[in-house]
Amino acid sequence: MVGSGGREHALCWAIAASPLCDKLYCAPGNPGIAEEAELVAIAAMELDRIVDFAREKSIDLVVVGPEPPLVAGLVDKLDAAGIKAFGPRAAAAALEGSKGFTKDFCARHKIPTAAYQRFTDAGKASAYVRQKGAPIVVKADGLAAGKGVTVARTVDEALAAVADALVGGRFGSAGASVVVEEFLEGEIASFFALIDGVDVLPLQSVQDHKAVGDGETGPNTGGMGAYAPVAAMTPAMEQQVMDRIVRPTVRAMAAEGAPYKGVLFTELMICRDGPKLIEFNVRFGDPECQVLMMRLKSDLVPALVAACDGELKSFDLRWHADAVLTVVLAAKGYPDTPKPGGAIGGLDRASALPGVKIFQAGTKLDAAGRLVAAGGRVLNVTARAPDVAEAQALAYRAVDLVDFPDGFCRRDIGWRAVPSRAR
């Protein structure tokens, strides 16, 4: 496993439980992942060191968690070395690596998404913003760790976002080009599918909560909590997403010479006139993955191998009927300036509640061997129960047993499913 967050902890937890797994390494991992895997001190972007390590240990399967090494071509390098790897090659990872690429791809293949224009010139971008008016959305083209998107309520806010990216260089080369697009009104949902280059195995839908504050207030984050099932994602809606967005994308990527393999994370706005693509991600969502892994009943490993080997066609996975909800505990100051080093306690008693699992994200052991915060999103307190309301109640019961004075969380994760019980 490559990566070190809550997503990778959940994946390691699922992989380690497989009878097919006799040894699991994680580079670089975190103290929670160390309970499932042997940690290797190689960073996720040290691509050549990862390939060398995999060769040296005769690794049978490498699973890449985060997007930067995928976009940088880790899977291409592993393929070249004859090592089986789960995740898209760089050419297919452009579906996340360049928003402009994806918008043009959607336009070519009539995949429903917000109307847009691409700009490298601040004057032209500003003129377009003034012509269209607010609300309007400004996005840095490249990877910006979830911070490159401004949903502008006013023209001034949009102009400032354009200037930040194209004049101020706020996102470096990732923001040297921007997409300015139509604001879509609707409900956000994430849909996941495994893809083997040709065939698609739908997984499940999950709903994330991007804003840092209760009631969807404050700046956007990587995600403050998630749950499934999502009521708006009915079987009919999932079928539309498959027919209008996912399958056409897989066909077109293959036709364009960049067949897609791995997991495709389709972020959607469910609008009045049907689902529209907000963006693709070329990896599991974080914290959506934690929810998926807790709902998955089948062994994950054969599915990952089938995606690598082009054998998804007749593959099937079984899921728990129960709901799962995860609450992110973040360090105070997140997303701008998370406070590092805050002490964490109470994980054992919180995890002892039946149906609760705590995944670790930004954690480390300090010099004295105590668990402390080392990142923005620190813990994912995850609960499985018969319905979303019960999963929510159980997750917050566990949250309240965790001792993390320098942390905070939203108290309303799952509010669309449990509106009367915002906690």
Residues within the interface to ligand AMP (CB under 6 A)? 114, 137, 146, 149, 151, 181-184, 188, 210, 220, 267, 278-279
Please say which residue, 128 or 183, places its beta carbon nearer to ligand AMP. Answer: 183
Residue with token string 């990142």: 375
Please say which residue, 180 or 381, places its beta carbon nearer to ligand AMP. Answer: 180
Shortest distance, position 276 Cβ to ligand AMP, whole Å? 8
Please say which residue, 221 or 382, places its beta carbon nearer to ligand AMP. Answer: 221
Residue with token string 């580079």: 27
Buried b (16+ CB within 10 A) or exposed e, 143-154: bbeebbbbbbee
Shortest distance, position 210 Cβ to ligand AMP, whole Å? 5
Please say which residue, 288 or 322, places its beta carbon nearer to ligand AMP. Answer: 288
User: Strand runs (DSSP E) across 251-306, as ranges?
Assistant: 261-271, 274-281
Question: Six-digit token pair at 98?
Answer: 């360049």
Please say which residue, 102 or 382, places its beta carbon nearer to ligand AMP. Answer: 102
Please say which residue, 219 or 405, places its beta carbon nearer to ligand AMP. Answer: 219
The rounded distance, in Å, linking the Cα atoms of 350 and 352 is 5
Shortest distance, position 282 Cβ to ligand AMP, whole Å? 13
For residue 104, what is the enclosing H or E element? helix 99-109
Please say which residue, 184 or 224, places its beta carbon nearer to ligand AMP. Answer: 184
Shortest distance, position 6 Cβ to ligand AMP, whole Å? 18
122-132 and 155-166 helices cross at what angle (nearest 10)? 160
Shortest distance, position 252 Cβ to ligand AMP, whole Å? 20
Residues 164 and 181: beta-carbon distance below 8 Å: no
The rounded distance, in Å, linking the Cα atoms of 352 and 358 is 10
Please say which residue, 188 or 282, places its beta carbon nearer to ligand AMP. Answer: 188
Residues 290 and 226: beta-carbon distance below 8 Å: yes
Buried b (16+ CB within 10 A) or exposed e, 386-410: eebbbbbbbbbebbebbebebbbbb
Q: What is the CA radius of gyration of the chain?
A: 21
Shortest distance, position 100 Cβ to ligand AMP, whole Å? 13
Shortest distance, position 18 Cβ to ligand AMP, whole Å? 31
For residue 225, what is the enclosing H or E element? strand 225-228
Shortest distance, position 110 Cβ to ligand AMP, whole Å? 18
| 3-class secondary-structure state, position 103 | helix
The rounded distance, in Å, linking the Cα atoms of 47 and 69 is 7
Shortest distance, position 154 Cβ to ligand AMP, whole Å? 15
- How many angstroms separate the Cα of 102 from the Cα of each of 74, 94, 108, 118? 21, 7, 10, 11
Question: Six-digit token pair at 356?
Answer: 């609760």
Residue with token string 């070190």: 4
List beta partners, residue 261. Answer: 196
- How many angstroms separate the Cα of 182 from the Cα of each of 30, 41, 148, 174, 276? 39, 43, 16, 21, 12
The rounded distance, in Å, linking the Cα atoms of 322 and 134 is 41
Shortest distance, position 283 Cβ to ligand AMP, whole Å? 13
Shortest distance, position 269 Cβ to ligand AMP, whole Å? 6
